[in-house]
């Protein structure tokens, strides 16, 4: 067996996207690379993406991302490249950590639509959905479920840090939530 496969996996990339509505175009990518064992955050990334469309007042209010932010943002391909470099730089576990699933596949799908020839398989075909893990833990303990990340964090003794619906803040808090869930899932020795 390859020695790399025997080492405990400790470095993960937590990913979050913010999207325009109703188009669903990505307008912000947030990522955090951290050591899941120690909690050390190795690097963060927050990139505004230009969707080449007008943002709705609802999205501006929800996310705090302005039209000027996206108009001065980078292309989706440039943002993806920054994320790819960050993920590979630290040799993060292939599957990203997400809240609610699907962000990594949505990102790949949107980049692929603009650049069909590009090799995009940096995250594999899966992701680690912390929301599903949290809901399953709540079900297993006979507890009601919570929907959002911030409210769910309070159920494990954490406090949301930053602005809700900011991709970097959501990625950071998802990372912390995953660490807490792993602690709760540890079996007694």
Residue pLDDT, tens place only, 43-102: 999 999 999 999 999 999 999 999 999 999 999 999 999 999 999 999 999 999 999 988
The reply to whether 70 falls in a domain is yes
Q: How many domains is the chain partitioned into structurally?
A: 1
The reply to whether 92 falls in a domain is yes
What pTM was computed for the model? Answer: 0.92
Extract the tokens encoding 86. 């960050």
Kindly state the helix (H) or strand (E) to which residue 185 belongs, with its residue range: helix 167-185
pLDDT at site 162:
95
Extract the tokens encoding 171. 């990625």
The reply to whether 28 falls in a domain is yes
Before 140, cis peptide (omega within 30)?
A: no
The reply to whether 189 falls in a domain is no
The reply to whether 159 falls in a domain is yes
The reply to whether 107 falls in a domain is yes
pLDDT at site 168:
97
pLDDT at site 1:
45
Interval 29-34 mean pLDDT: 98
Kindly state the helix (H) or strand (E) to which residue 83 belongs, with its residue range: helix 76-89
The reply to whether 18 falls in a domain is yes
Of the pLDDT bands very low, low, confident and very high (cuts 50, 70, 90), residue 12 is: very high
Of the pLDDT bands very low, low, confident and very high (cuts 50, 70, 90), residue 145 is: confident
CATH no. for residue 69? 3.30.420.10
- For residue 116, the enclosing domain spans 3-184
Of the pLDDT bands very low, low, confident and very high (cuts 50, 70, 90), residue 5 is: low
Extract the tokens encoding 189. 């020795």
Note the pLDDT tens digit of each residue in 35-45: 999 999 999 99
**Residues 34 and 60: beta-carbon distance below 8 Å:** no
Of the pLDDT bands very low, low, confident and very high (cuts 50, 70, 90), residue 114 is: confident
pLDDT at site 115:
80
């Amino acid at each position: 067996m390859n020695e790399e496969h025997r080492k405990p996996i400790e470095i993960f990339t937590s990913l979050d996207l913010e999207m325009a509505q109703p188009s669903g175009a990505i307008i912000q990518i947030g990522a955090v690379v951290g050591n899941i064992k120690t909690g050390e955050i190795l690097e963060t990334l927050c990139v505004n993406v230009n969707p080449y469309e007008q943002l709705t007042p609802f999205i501006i209010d929800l996310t705090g991302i302005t039209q000027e932010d996206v108009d001065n943002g980078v292309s989706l391909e440039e943002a993806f490249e920054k994320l790819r470099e960050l993920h590979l730089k630290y040799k993060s576990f292939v599957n990203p950590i997400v809240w609610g699933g699907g962000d990594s596949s949505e990102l790949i799908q949107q980049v692929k639509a603009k650049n069909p020839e590009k090799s995009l398989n940096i995250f594999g075909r899966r992701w680690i959905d912390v929301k599903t893990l949290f809901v399953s833990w709540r079900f297993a303990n006979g507890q009601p479920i919570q929907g959002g990340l911030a409210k769910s964090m309070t159920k494990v003794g954490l406090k949301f840090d930053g602005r809700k619906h900011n991709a970097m803040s959501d990625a950071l808090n998802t990372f912390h939530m995953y660490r807490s869930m792993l602690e709760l899932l540890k079996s007694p020795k």
